[in-house]
Amino acid sequence: MMEPRDNLDWPRVADELGERFDVDCIESSVRGRLKAGRNNRLLVACSGGADSVFMLCLFAARRAELGLELHVAHYNHRWRGEASQQDEDFVRGITEGLKLPFYFEKRPENEAAFTETTARSLRLDFLRKVAREADCPFIAFGHQLDDILETQLQRLARGVGTEGLAAPRPVAEFSGQPTHLRPLLHLRSGDIRMTLNAVGIPWREDGSNEDTSIARNMLRHEVIPDLIEALDRDPSTGAARSRQLLEEDACALDLLARERMPEAFSSEERLSRVDLCALPRALMRRALVAWLNAHELTESFSASAMDMLIDSLLSQRRTWKQSAGASFICSDKKSIWVEEEEEGEAALQHVQFEPGETVVLSSGYLIESDLQTLDEKKRDAILCGRIDPSFEATLILPSEESLHVRGWRPGDRFTPLGSPGAKKLKDWFIDRGIPRKERKRLPVVTTASGEVIWVPGFPPADRYKINRDTKQALRLTYRPRNPR
């Protein structure tokens, strides 16, 4: 690793890297997807490490040839104090040198992100949010060939199938989310670093990557070297080929399942148990996963729960009911369907209130409202985002005299502050990963005409945002009635 320099000519070194790696060196399926796209705004996720810096410089050198509009995002986990801030500053310096838009976010103080899984989730949420705001249909990640074996070993321990072992894919699509691209999956980590050194491109090293108490680091530094010695060959290239073959198999099985049972890949209320049981078990599993996903129940189903569901369908039992989070999967001898839990516990009563009043919700929470005169300090705190939207919102007072609070209803639409436009509340809930049961408990604050102005966990409606000239505002807070 070279020491980062403030005066580095980033366009020059990026072009030098581009001379060594032409556009054909980008993974073929990624290259094909980018060339076929109509909207080629690409969000590059850059940590400051060697792989993502290499990727950013390669795209910068080849953006004209690919017709790309590049945007760069960095998530600061704040794991390593000053070193984490230096990572952020380093990536900012690259984007300034290359004259690219830069987006960044720091982990909030109250977020417990000190696990690899939680950290990855926080970063992904941030990247997807930025991609939506910047209208980027693609997010590029710096995974390279050596990451494949590490991922496969971790997933084998969990007992995944072809879909899981085919990851990370060079092109990964998600319903309602930007497509993930991994243009370096065919390149070795050592080759990437050698090239960066050769053209004088520095990068940042994450000291936590040496911590072998973290499973992935243990695999990289101890398990895989022992495996190489035991096998007398490098298994990473074999793992990469297996990943590709497994992806081919997974795509074929998915296509067959769609052909044999297309209704499972939609939001159909019921599926034929007879038709499901006529499928090979692998296709049956795929159809059920797709159907559960359409009903937003995938996260409520563990691997063992899925095995139990399949076994129950294939058994001689005529009727049964299996828990799935806040819902149940039910079956008789002909059909399988989703049954919601009783609404009584979760449903919120519709209440009308005036600004300045407090509403006691049936969930045991309060919605408090009061009119505030904003001084410069309060206004700055709101405009700078120092208000936690989970519990508080400050907005311009709607013109209607009364406000209403109720539970979420199908068809509700909302345009939170900073969003590109309105969409269904259900879709916002899905984007934020809010469980189905919790959605039923969240209050929806509306105007008398039914316009949604706030839902706890989101910023207030964009239409009612305050500005530098706002003198008086409505403050809404959401809290337990009897906090512990």
Give φ, ψ of 109 to 5 degrees. -60, -35
Please check whether residue 21 is in contact with residue 4, taking contact to mean a CB–CB distance below 8 angstroms: no
- 50 annotated ligand-binding residue: yes
Residue 215 to residue 145: CA distance in whole angstroms = 18
Question: In this predicted structure, what is the pLDDT of residue 3?
Answer: 56
Asked if 305 contacts 298 with a C-beta cutoff of 8 angstroms, the reply is: no
**How many C-beta atoms surround the C-beta of residue 176 within 10 A?**
10
Using an 8 Å Cβ cutoff, are 314 and 288 in contact?
Answer: no
Give residues with Cβ within 8 angstroms of 69, minimum separation 6. 40, 41, 42, 63
d(CA 145, CA 188): 5
Domain with CATH 3.40.50.620 in the chain: 10-236
Please indicate if the annotation marks 238 as binding a ligand. no
Parts of the chain belonging to CATH 3.50.40.10: 351-480
CATH number corresponding to 351-480:
3.50.40.10
Q: Is 175 annotated as a binding residue?
A: no
* Tokens encoding 137: 């249909």
Which of the pair, 300 or 242, is modelled with greater confidence? 242
Cα(13)–Cα(178) distance, integer angstroms:
29
pLDDT at site 112: 44
pLDDT(115) > 60: no
Torsion sign over Cα 104, 110, 116, 122:
negative
**Cα(73)–Cα(94) distance, rounded to whole angstroms?**
11
CA dist., res. 456 & res. 391, Å (int): 6
Per-residue pLDDT at 348 exceeds 80: no
Q: What is the CATH number of domain 10-236?
A: 3.40.50.620
Give percent above pLDDT 90 in the chain: 52
What value does the mean pLDDT of the chain take?
A: 88
CATH class of 261-340: alpha beta
Top pLDDT among 241 and 480 is at 241
Is the model more confident about 363 or about 201?
A: 201
47 is in an annotated binding site: yes
Phi then psi for 360, rounded to 5 degrees? -95, 115
User: Is the confidence at residue 109, as pLDDT, over 70?
Assistant: no
More confident residue, 197 or 217: 197
Biggest CA pair distance of the chain = 78
> Tell me, what's the pLDDT at 345?
47
Say which residues have a Cβ less than 8 Å from residue 253's Cβ, sequence separation at least 6: 162, 282, 283, 286
List every span in the chain annotated with CATH 3.30.465: 261-340
Q: Output the pLDDT for position 113.
A: 42
pLDDT of residue 131 exceeding 50, the answer is yes
Q: What is the pLDDT of residue 129?
A: 93
Looking at residue 77, the DSSP 8-state letter turns out to be -
